[in-house]
């Protein structure tokens, strides 16, 4: 009888584990914080979709105002390291989790996957993220003084050592007209995209390819992320320096074209495991109608399918 009871308990535990949603981790975007009203509301909405799900919202600082400030000022490499330590200390995440990154939080979560991924991410969803960087600084609200000061500093000396160490947006600013300066000074985006051949890291490709699904969401009318196709690993190039210009379908500013993911060296030579994921059928391209982070209800179907 004791053996029967033990087997029954084990079966019950297995059944409970099968019914428990996989945990979910969120990383907010620029100008937001882990405990803002919007993030807390979004977590509650997810819990209504997946009852019983454990949701953790990543923070750089537990103080709401300081956490928001950390989205503008700080060193991204250090922040990703801090987040890896934060996630590894959470018992509920030990078996792995799904993750959603909003705007810059998306490429930061990808950096976590490539560099650490312990505990591992199962499905990663990124909304309007700047995977191949930005070529213009997003505009700020007229009274968002924190944003206005950061924007002015970035535009003033984006590839200076101080900006590259202390201004978040500068660390994923990729100017197609000044790539030499970008390669020489940037230590975040060049790293997670494995753009520098001399220090290319094979672990990044293996880790990213270990994802079950990479869901890339673009906002169809996004004017904040330039180019918006960065969310789908597209990037701008200067026409005169790009032999693909005769076949290009997307013309941007005069003298610039958009190169889609499949034509990027990053993809063709599979520097980060993206091509392996795609050829396996595990890169999902999705759209949200509207401007940057006008998420509406387009998240729900994705969360139902790829989270929990």
Catalytic residues: 103, 222, 292
E-only strand ranges, 96-195: 97-102, 121-127
Q: How far apart are CA 226 and CA 129, in angstroms?
A: 11
Asked whether the bond before 119 is cis by omega within 30 degrees of 0, the reply is: yes
Q: How far apart are CA 3 and CA 9, in angstroms?
A: 10
The DSSP bridge partners found for residue 26 are 57, 100
Q: How far apart are CA 271 and CA 257, in angstroms?
A: 22
The DSSP bridge partners found for residue 182 are none
Burial of 201 (0-12, 13-18, 19+ CB in 10 A): middle
Residue position matching structure tokens 């790829």: 306
SS3 content of the chain, % helix, strand, coil (to 5): 45, 15, 40
Which residues touch 267 (CB under 8 Å, ≥6 apart)? 233, 261, 274, 275, 278
Residue position matching structure tokens 């007209």: 177
């Amino acid at each position: 009888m004791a053996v029967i009871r033990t087997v029954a308990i084990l079966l019950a535990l297995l059944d409970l584990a099968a019914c428990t949603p996989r945990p979910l981790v969120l990383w907010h975007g620029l100008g937001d914080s882990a405990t803002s009203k919007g993030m807390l509301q979004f977590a509650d909405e997810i819990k209504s979709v997946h009852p019983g799900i454990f949701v953790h919202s990543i923070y750089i600082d537990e103080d709401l105002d300081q956490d928001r400030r950390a989205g503008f000022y700080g060193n991204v490499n250090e922040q990703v390291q801090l987040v890896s330590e934060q996630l590894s200390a959470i018992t509920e995440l030990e078996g792995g989790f799904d993750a959603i990154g909003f705007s810059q939080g998306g490429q930061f979560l990808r950096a976590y996957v490539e560099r650490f991924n312990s505990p591992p991410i199962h499905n990663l969803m990124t909304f309007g993220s700047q995977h191949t960087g930005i070529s213009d600084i997003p505009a700020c609200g007229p009274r968002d003084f924190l944003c206005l000061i950061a924007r002015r500093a970035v535009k003033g000396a984006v590839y200076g050592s101080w900006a590259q160490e202390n201004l978040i947006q500068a660390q994923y600013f990729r100017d197609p007209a000044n790539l030499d300066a970008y390669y020489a000074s940037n230590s975040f985006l060049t790293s997670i995209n494995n753009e520098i051949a001399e220090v290319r890291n094979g672990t990044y490709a293996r880790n990213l390819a270990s994802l079950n699904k990479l869901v890339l969401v673009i906002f169809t009318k996004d004017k904040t992320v330039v180019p918006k196709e960065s969310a789908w690993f597209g990037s701008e190039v200067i026409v005169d320096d790009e032999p693909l210009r005769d076949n290009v379908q997307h013309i941007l500013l005069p003298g610039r074209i958009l190169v889609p993911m499949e034509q990027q060296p990053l993809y063709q030579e599979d520097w980060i495991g993206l091509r392996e994921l795609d050829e396996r059928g595990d890169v999902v391209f999705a759209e949200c109608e509207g401007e940057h982070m006008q998420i509406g209800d387009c998240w729900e179907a994705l969360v139902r399918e790829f989270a929990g």
